[in-house]
Structure 1
Amino acid sequence: MTTFLPLLPVREDLYVLYRGPLASCNYDCPYCPFAKRVDPPELLRADRADLERFAGWVEATTDRRLSVLFTPWGEGLTRSWYRETIVRLSHLPHVARVAIQTNLAARTGWLAGADPRVAALWATYHPGQVTRERFLARCRELLGLGIRFSVGVVGLPDHHAEAVALRAALPPEVYLWVNAAEGHVYTSAEEARWTALDPRFGDSVRPHPSLGEPCHAGETAISVLGDGTVRRCHFIKTPIGNLYDGTWRAALQPRPCTNGLCDCHIGYVHLKPLELRDVYADGLLERIPAVWPQPATRP
């Protein structure tokens, strides 16, 4: 007599980009509208409560294979509740990845309590806000802890020399990305210089026409606000449901993009014609390509 084991349920993948009300930051980068913003205590309490509620939703939503990226307007890792939540979610069996965008100013020792197979960081180096050696010391701490991370810079002309030095100091397995600076038009020579540092700079250097294009956003990727409002992505403001009343489930469906252009990595990475999910694979949320060519010579 043959005994058949019960089939385990197939968990569908869902990428969740979460952004609570937190907007404070310890840096004052001139290209950022939230630089040195200070949140009042009541907003911080609200942000903490919202994040706790969201973490509870992640724990309870076991029928999906979830990947979570925190994209705060400010710096989240200076707040204990983001650190604690990343550790907490990293140990859930149905969470494939939990990552956060960070300036890497906060201490990293807390990551020793996280599952290094799940927790990851998307770190940005801001010359003028932190010394290169201090930033590199944080990177070395992450390497010692076995935490996956990428590092990057904004592609401003004044940042190029620091970016070159950073690339030279980092081990080759650490991916360094470059974001095109908003409003800056790159000459072909400038584009070539930055591409020598980041072979995928071409994805960022010019906006992607997106109107009517198919996108994973709203189908297998969603944007969530602190109150649970669900949008297709951060850049299309129309709500499609709410996380906490269950309406997000029926809202998930293929949709064409309604914006004319998409010029931010966390948006265009989901545009289907670009096939960037294949490029990044398991490193999608922390911005690490599965394979990337190393520069043959230092720029």
Structure 2
Amino acid sequence: MKLAVLYRGPLASCNYDCPYCPFAKRHDPPGLLREDRAALERFTGWVAATTDVRLSVLFTPWGEGLTRSWYRDAMVSLSHLPHVERVAIQTNLAARPDWLAAADPATAALWATYHPGQVTRERFLARCAALLRMGVRFSVGVVGLPEHLDEARALRAALPERVYVWVNAAEGRRYTPEEEARWTALDPLFGYSVRPHLSLDRPCHAGETAISVRGDGTVRRCHFVQEEIGNLYDGTWRAALRPRTCVNAICDCHIGYVHLKPLGLREVFAGGVLERIPAGWPDAVISGHVPLDA
């Protein structure tokens, strides 16, 4: 049995103030940070004890997790567990990556986002160079805003071809064909992000081989469906796993639509679903994958 777990605890603070993010420069009070740390330690204990399942874990904090020692510790400890296939986290790479030297590079991975205006390109690229030296798997990406295009092009040019650079369509933005073509030149899979996918009644891996977990152990099929289907810590999640169809009209976030079965993105990203790295990148032929929007 294989299961992908997307974990999101109470943490909602970030050291950046991106204008397109509602959690920019938010500060969590000490009590909430203690709650987040306790919840994460409980979760990592559950992962360590659940040896009858081949687990993959993606941390998707609302804020920046790697500036907190307990997320770094969790990444390291989980990477050494034999039944954990992958442990990854979404991060802005603000924290020095030296701690990853203690992790198993075959298991630990990063989904990194470059935020122009919050960090210099040179500093971000230095972080990427350190990851490359350590042999850590990672992807990097940007939000597809017009003011980010030149920086995104420079980022792509500066990184080795083997590093996948993805582009997220900016929320609420409509792209002209010319704009879409410019971003697709950087990310051949941008077409999946640029328009929402019709998902209602379509089969999805979420709730079957992928689940979303809150800090208190509440299990939902995914981050975007509020219905609770069990709890991690009382074992009810096991009986809840079954094939499901989506109850939402559309799905427009990568961590959601990557699991929609009609899109076939589990195959496109095979071996790198959680860290957002296409299978065989950059040699794989991916131009034939056309997004479904009907």
User: Under TM normalisation by the shorter chain, which class is it?
Assistant: over 0.9
SS of 1:281's partner is: coil
Please name the residue that 1:148 is paired with.
Answer: 137
Which residue does 1:174 correspond to in 2?
A: 163
For 1:4-42, what per-residue CA distance to the aligned partner results, in whole angstroms no more than 9, with x for missing partners? xxxxxxxx1100000000000000000000000000000
Write the deviation string for residues 109-159 of structure 1: whole angstroms up to 9, x where unpaired. Answer: 000000000000000000000000000000000001110000000000000
* Cα deviations by residue, 1:79-108 (Å, 9 ceiling, x for unpaired): 000000000000000000000000000010
Matched with 1:27 is 16
Distance 1:281 1:61 in 2: 23
SS of 2:227's equivalent in the other structure is strand
**What secondary structure, in the 3-state scheme, does the structure 2 residue paired with 1:283 have?**
coil
Summarize deviations over 1:23-79 as a string: whole Å, max 9, x none. 000000000000000000000000000000000000010111000000000000000
Question: Where does residue 286 of structure 2 map in the other structure?
Answer: none
Q: CA shift at 1:291, angstroms? A: 3.0
Tell whether the 8 Å contact from 2:164 to 2:282 is kept in structure 1 after alignment: no
- The answer as to 2:133 corresponding to 1:157 is no
**Structure 2: segments with no counterpart, 5+ residues:** 284-294
Assess if the C-alpha contact under 8 Å between 1:199 and 1:293 holds in 2.
no
- Supply the RMSD in Å over aligned alpha carbons: 0.7
Percent of aligned positions that are identical:
80
Q: Name the CA distance, whole Å, in 2 between partners of 1:237 and 1:29.
A: 27
- Asked if structure 2 preserves the Cα contact closer than 8 Å seen for 1:199 and 1:292, the reply is no
For 1:236 and 1:251, locate their aligned partners in 2 and report how far apart those are by CA, in whole Å.
14
Distance in 1, Cα, partners of 2:64 & 2:282: 31
Partner residue, 2:41:
52
Count of residue correspondences = 283
1:74 and 1:55 map into 2 onto residues whose CA distance is 19
TM-score, normalised with respect to structure 2: 0.96
Match of 2:113 in 1: 124
Native 8 Å contact 2:111 2:140 kept in 1: yes
Instruction: Specify the alignment match of 2:292 in structure 1.
Output: none
Structure 2: how far apart are the matches of 1:109 and 1:158?
A: 31
Distance across 2 between alignment mates of 1:214 and 1:108: 38
